[in-house]
Structure 1
Amino acid sequence: MSLKELLQQPFHVPSVPRVVAVLLTELEHPVADLRRITQQISTDPALTLRLLQWANAESVGLRGQISSVSEALALLSLADVKKVAKEAAAGATLKAVPGISLPQFWTYSLNVAKVSRSLAAVVRQNQQAAFTCGLIHGLGELAMHLAMPEDMAALDAKVKPLDLKRAKAERQQFGYCWASVGAGYAQAWGLPQTLVDALEHQYAPFENDVYEPLAGVIHLATWRARCKEATLDDREMAVTFPGFVGEVLGLDIDMVLQQDPFDWAAHT
């Protein structure tokens, strides 16, 4: 399937049922706690995406300008947020994507988001945009598994979905990878061009005269989170560290690891 054909397929991102349930409960309180609502939505890539789609809709008048949950909540009413949550609840399932463990995938995505936000602070990029982009950076992988389950299953047997070499394997197999798929959908959903560009170029930042610092941030955060998934030791991380990307951003491996906000042992 070509990239153009894939992007013409409908793609509905499944939410995490527990998060949706907690959010709906919070929204039923007489006085809603916006901080808790923001926290809940920000842990779920699908909820975040749905909210951003609403906030960037042409009817709101700010299409392509809202890049974070907090910005979206400042625009939308709680009634709108409740509609988003109920839509998510209707499609919330943990068995929706063939070949993908969604609990693992969502945890991994949240890890990328948090590392992205931390790195963005160091290189003076928009931290909220970095968090959002990190949270949704891998949605193209889900879209590919939904649209091409047999082809992806064959590739999964050779290279796991969260392997460091996965994007390269997909490009060799299909001529594109999850980064381009995610960017294509983000463009169609009306997300800010900064996010679209970061998603598009996250696989190979700074190549072909492209300079999108946020793409480099996401690339490094993805490397760190996938190292965790692969349980790489210090030597293996040093060997796989994308030094060119770090050099352009002024970050070496020690600086990246120092900004790592996780006790990875707790997630093993």
Structure 2
Amino acid sequence: MELQSLIDQPGKLPTIPKVAQQLIASFSSEDASVNEIASQLTADPALSAKLLRLANSAYFHVSRTIGTVESALQMLGFVMVRNLVLGNSVAAAFKNTKGIDLPQFWRYNLYTACAARWLAHRAEVNGDLVFTLGLMHGIGQLQMHAVIPHEMALLDQQLHVLAVGRAALEKNKLGFHHLQVSAELARVWNFPQSLIDALTHVAEPLSAEEFSEAAALVHLGAWRAKAEVLGLSAEEQQASYPEQVAQRLGLDPAWVNFEALAEADPDSPAMPPMAQLTEGLEAMFE
């Protein structure tokens, strides 16, 4: 089976709204018109309402109520507003995908994005762009379940779709894995080459010819998200922890706590509980 066959099938390629396409184009545009994007978002009442709900969520800790799209752009920044709209648009594009637990899948993607962004701030890497990669990295799974449902059902019986070794199993059985499919979708949607390359290397960041900090951070964020969503025990977490990736990034080993924390300790270097780290952003995928 060829990877490209998952993309080159009429009617099987998900489409995203025009405003989301323009937001993607803004990645590589030095003169993106924020006012024009704000106008287009405002023209979509449902999308505007969702954006404002997200902007006022506990995740951003804003000091005053954000009541307009323009205020959201001012308070959160263009990149994060773009992330919120892209996340919602991509989720809507795959809302009818069969054979996969969509609420669990999107919770995992959100956990990955937020965990990777939290780590990026400690590694002094652009957290908003890492957040974008986290949101996008898993969508190849949805495309594969939509186009080759029989083959995916067989793999799902062997190993959970979110299991740590899933990409390796897919590569062995199909010749490619879901992260490569995610990268191809990003290419079709005209994401910048730097993001496409990073998506390609999320599964094995240390094997890339040129090390990508963003890919490595999403790799670690995905590990943390899998541990939470799949309810891995402390022993299972320790056995699967990508220690070499964390060392390559120079992260403080104390960031990870293999036992779930009852509540966040602001003085601790450990990552807060995922429910707290993502509070309010679940609405992105509703």
- TM class, shorter-length: 0.7 to 0.9
Deviation at 1:74, TM superposition (A): 5.7
Q: Does 1:262 align with 2:264?
A: no
Count of aligned positions: 222
Q: Which amino acid aligns with 2:168?
A: K
Q: Does 1:155 align with 2:155?
A: yes
Matches within 5 A, 1:227-246: 227-246=227-246
Q: CA offsets per residue over residues 33-88 of structure 1, 9 Å max, x none? A: xxxxxxxxxxxxx78xx75422234xxxx46359xxxx8966513335645949x8
Distance 1:12 1:211, change over 3 A: same
Q: 1:53 aligns with which of 21, 25, 29?
A: 21
Q: State the distance in 1 between where 2:34 and 2:130 align.
A: 18
Deviation at 1:178, TM superposition (A): 0.7
Q: Does 1:215 align with 2:215?
A: yes
Asked whether the 8 Å contact 2:94–2:142 carries over to 1, the reply is: no
Helix, strand or coil: the match of 2:225? helix
Distance 1:229 1:80, change over 3 A: closer
Residue 64 of structure 1 corresponds to: 28
Asked whether the 8 Å contact 1:223–1:241 carries over to 2, the reply is: yes
Q: State the distance in 2 between where 1:193 and 1:154 align.
A: 33
Per mean C-alpha deviation after superposition, the further-off stretch among 172-181 and 233-242 is 233-242
Deviation at 1:152, TM superposition (A): 0.4
Residue 204 of structure 1 corresponds to: 204
Residue 58 of structure 2 corresponds to: none
Deviation at 1:252, TM superposition (A): 5.5
Residue 79 of structure 1 corresponds to: 40
Structure 2 unaligned spans of 5+: 49-87, 258-269, 280-286
Deviation at 1:209, TM superposition (A): 2.3
Deviation at 1:239, TM superposition (A): 1.1
TM-score, normalised by the number of residues in structure 1 = 0.72
Residue 105 of structure 2 corresponds to: 105
Q: Which amino acid aligns with 1:64?
A: S
Helix, strand or coil: the match of 1:206? helix
Residue 29 of structure 1 corresponds to: none
Q: Which amino acid aligns with 2:271?
A: Q
Deviation at 1:132, TM superposition (A): 1.3
Helix, strand or coil: the match of 2:247? helix
Q: 2:13 aligns with which of 11, 14, 39?
A: 11
Per mean C-alpha deviation after superposition, the further-off stretch among 194-203 and 148-157 is 194-203
Distance 1:256 1:53, change over 3 A: farther
Distance 1:194 1:52, change over 3 A: farther
Deviation at 1:130, TM superposition (A): 1.0
Q: Which amino acid aligns with 1:53?
A: Q
TM-score, normalised by the number of residues in structure 2 = 0.68
Residue 129 of structure 1 corresponds to: 129
Helix, strand or coil: the match of 1:186? helix
Deviation at 1:189, TM superposition (A): 1.0
Residue 30 of structure 1 corresponds to: none
Q: State the distance in 1 between where 2:37 and 2:254 align.
A: 41
Q: State the distance in 1 between where 2:234 and 2:33 align.
A: 39
Asked whether the 8 Å contact 1:120–1:127 carries over to 2, the reply is: yes
Deviation at 1:193, TM superposition (A): 2.5
